[in-house]
Each structure stands twice: as C-alpha cells, then as structure tokens.
C-alpha cells in the first residue's frame, strides 16, 4: 500500500479520512479497526481511475492509534505507527476538520463515509455537493466499489443538533453501551479551583459540560475532578423570523413560561415593533404561551386569530402546516415553526435542553458522531 501513499496533499489524487475507513465495519474484515479496509479502497480506486499508480493522502485522528487494542492484528498497529513516523499519515486531533480544510483549498476528492453534517456551519460548500465525496460500498464478493455521495442540503436546525451530539461524544459523555451518561449530563458541576467559572451557573457566561477522564467528570482547563453542584438547569433559544429573516432571539429557562404576541405584557415577548401595522392587526396581544417543563418545550395557542405549526423532519424538510388546537400544549422541538400570521414565524434554534440531548442521542447513537454546548443568553439577531 505504501506505493500509493503521498507525503503531502498537493501530491495526492485523493484525500482519505483514514480514521473513518479503518473503522468502517461495512467493508472488509470483522473487528472494529483494520488497515485491510484501506487496501480494499485502494484497489477500488485503481479500478475507478484505471491508474495503477493512483495516490492518496491519509489523515487520521490521534484516537485511531490511541485505540490500538481494537485492531485485530497488532502488526497493523506497528505498520500504522511507521506510516505516521515516515510522514505517510497526517495525525491530528480532528481529522474531519483537517480533511475538509484540505478539500476546500485543493478541490481534491475525499474518500469517506461521513456526511459531515456537524461541520457544515463552518464549511457551507459541502451543502449540495454531489461530486467531491466518495464512499466505499461492499460488493457481494467482498470487494469494494467507490460511489459518489450526494451530500444534500441540511437545515440549520439539523446541523446544530448534529454539532451538539458530536459535542457529547467528544467529551466522553457516552457509555460503553452507546447510551448517554445522563447522570453526568443532567447535573451542574463546579471546579474546585476558586477562580474557575467554566462550569459555575452562578458566575460563568459559558456553562460547559465536563470532560470525562477515566470515568470522572474533569475540568477542561485545570484537569481536576469536578464537584457535583446539583441538577442542571436548561436554557433554550427562540427566534422570531419575519418574512424569512431572523430579527430577534429570546431565551427561555427551565421552569418558565412566556407569552408571545403583539403586546403580551412586561414579562412577555412583544412583536409589535417588528411588525407592520397591517400584519400586527392579525396577531393577538397574547398569541402564544411557550413553556419549558422537565426539559421539554411546549407551545399553546391562546390567540383570537388561530395559529398553525409545521414540524421539521429528520432530513431537514418540513411537514405540512397544521392548525394548532386552541388551549392545548404541544411539544415545540428544535427546527419546528409556528406561524402567528402570514410571514410571522416563531421557531426554536437547534440548541437543546440537556434532557433533549440525551433523548436524541439514545435514538441516533448508532449513526452519529460529538463538545459541550453552553447556554448563553442572546437578545438580537
């Protein structure tokens, strides 16, 4: 295989995210990690290009060698270490980000099975890309073919959710059975270092989730075990969107309720100054009640004129508009939209309460990557 490995991205015909390929259990031998999968990909690449000398540049996470015991053949571990020492593999903290940077700068095709949903905010060029990404696919005879991936277009809410789930995984907040460590996620934490406010809900403006090290919640900055500071309160973000443009953002804390409308009162979210006089006439003074209870956001129509709602799907598309039954609490999930009047929409950002993160991880753990998301109040778009 060494014959095909380039020592720089500029000299390579293709970029390969080695961490992803070596862990891809849909191809090659059994076991969590194997370099033989790279060999199958190289043979597929020679078949695809008709070039026996086709070259690739390999990028891998540090964690690939860090989990060397998961390789079925320890000779592969020694081989991989040799590649790193000889400059045939670029070993980095985040292979995804490095591969995408190289792909953006050089326009070199990428071989991976990753859709990079959690990186699309920083790399919007991925959206709708149909030519630059190839994924390996197993044939019945055990060989591999390379298939062009349509990266599609993902919604802002889906990208945000994916980023948050990736954050949990990177912090080590995933148990051995691929379930979230809810006993950690649902608690507040405090660093014993008196000047550290990274985790202190009373002093910090960014409230981080801890990093798990050897099974212990640990301070990211000081490396010391954190102290349990009681149940973790949640905060979510609501956005007012007028004629397709986000014009204001509001925060909602766990256990609170807010009224949204034209002029709902001093504790409410007033939209009057954001609306034209004609549109404002179609919005009730108190149009909606939005509440956060036990880690779930609920919405209730209390208007005179009625409200309709549409939910976001798994792939970012929306379902049909449906009338909200009056005086009935309905779940209001990230990405969902509620229309108060034509062109006047209230939506949730992708940021979730800790309980929602945990629940989302339970249902998506088998197919998702993820660092701590902090709840910081914002007021204006």
Note the pLDDT tens digit of each residue in 45-72.
999 988 888 999 999 998 888 878 888 8
Cβ contact 126:119 at 8 Å: yes
Mean pLDDT taken over the chain: 82
Query: How do strand 110-111 and strand 14-17 relate by DSSP bridges?
Result: parallel
Write down the pTM of the prediction: 0.55
Which phi-psi region, left, alpha or beta, contains residue 178 (left: φ > 0; alpha: ψ -120 to 50)?
A: left
Question: How buried is 36 (Cβ within 10 angstroms: 0-12 exposed, 13-18 middle, 19+ buried)?
Answer: middle
- For 139-185, write each residue's pLDDT tens digit: 999 999 999 999 988 877 677 667 766 777 777 777 665 566 777 87
C-alpha 183/C-alpha 6 separation (Å) is 46
In sequence order, what are the residues at sequence separation of 6 or more whose Cβ sits closer than 8 angstroms to the Cβ of residue 196? 219, 221, 222
Q: Which two tokens stand for residue 267?
A: 């504790």
Question: How buried is 192 (Cβ within 10 angstroms: 0-12 exposed, 13-18 middle, 19+ buried)?
Answer: exposed
Q: Which residues of the chain have pLDDT under 50?
A: 204-206, 361-381
In sequence order, what are the residues at sequence separation of 6 or more whose Cβ sits closer than 8 angstroms to the Cβ of residue 176? none
């Amino acid at each position: 295989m060494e014959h095909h490995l380039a020592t720089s991205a500029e000299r390579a015909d293709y970029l390969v995210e080695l961490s992803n390929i070596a862990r891809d259990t849909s191809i090659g031998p059994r076991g969590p990690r194997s370099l033989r999968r790279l060999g199958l990909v190289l043979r597929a690449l020679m078949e695809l290009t008709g070039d026996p000398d086709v070259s690739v540049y390999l990028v891998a996470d540090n964690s690939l060698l860090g989990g060397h015991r998961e390789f079925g053949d320890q000779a592969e571990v020694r081989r991989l270490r040799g590649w790193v020492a000889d400059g045939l593999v670029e070993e980095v903290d985040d292979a995804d980000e490095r591969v995408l940077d190289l792909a953006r700068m050089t326009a070199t095709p990428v071989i991976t099975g990753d859709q990079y949903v959690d990186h699309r905010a920083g790399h919007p060029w991925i959206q709708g890309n149909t030519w630059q990404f190839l994924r390996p696919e197993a044939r019945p005879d055990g060989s591999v073919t390379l298939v062009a991936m349509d990266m599609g277009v993902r919604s802002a809410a889906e990208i945000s959710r994916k980023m948050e789930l990736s954050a949990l995984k990177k912090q080590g907040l995933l148990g051995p059975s691929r379930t979230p460590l809810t006993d950690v996620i649902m608690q507040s934490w405090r660093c014993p270092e008196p000047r550290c406010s990274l985790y202190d809900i009373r002093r910090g403006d960014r409230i981080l989730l801890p990093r798990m090290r050897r099974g212990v919640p640990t301070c990211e900055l000081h490396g010391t075990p954190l102290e349990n500071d009681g149940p973790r309160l949640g905060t979510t973000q609501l956005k007012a969107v007028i004629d397709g443009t986000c014009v204001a953002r509001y925060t909602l804390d766990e256990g609170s309720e807010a009224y949204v409308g034209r002029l709902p009162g001093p504790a409410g979210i007033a939209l009057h100054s954001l609306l034209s006089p004609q549109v404002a006439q179609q919005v009730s003074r108190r149009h909606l009640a939005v509440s956060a209870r036990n880690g779930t956001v609920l919405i209730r129509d209390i208007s005179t004129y009625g409200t309709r709602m549409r939910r976001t799907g798994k792939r970012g598309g929306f379902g049909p508009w449906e009338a909200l039954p009056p005086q009935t609490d309905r779940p209001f999930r990230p990405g969902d939209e509620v229309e108060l009047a034509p062109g006047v929409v209230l939506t949730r950002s992708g940021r979730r309460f800790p309980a929602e993160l945990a629940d989302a991880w339970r249902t998506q753990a088998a197919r998702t990557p993820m660092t701590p998301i902090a709840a910081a109040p914002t007021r204006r778009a």
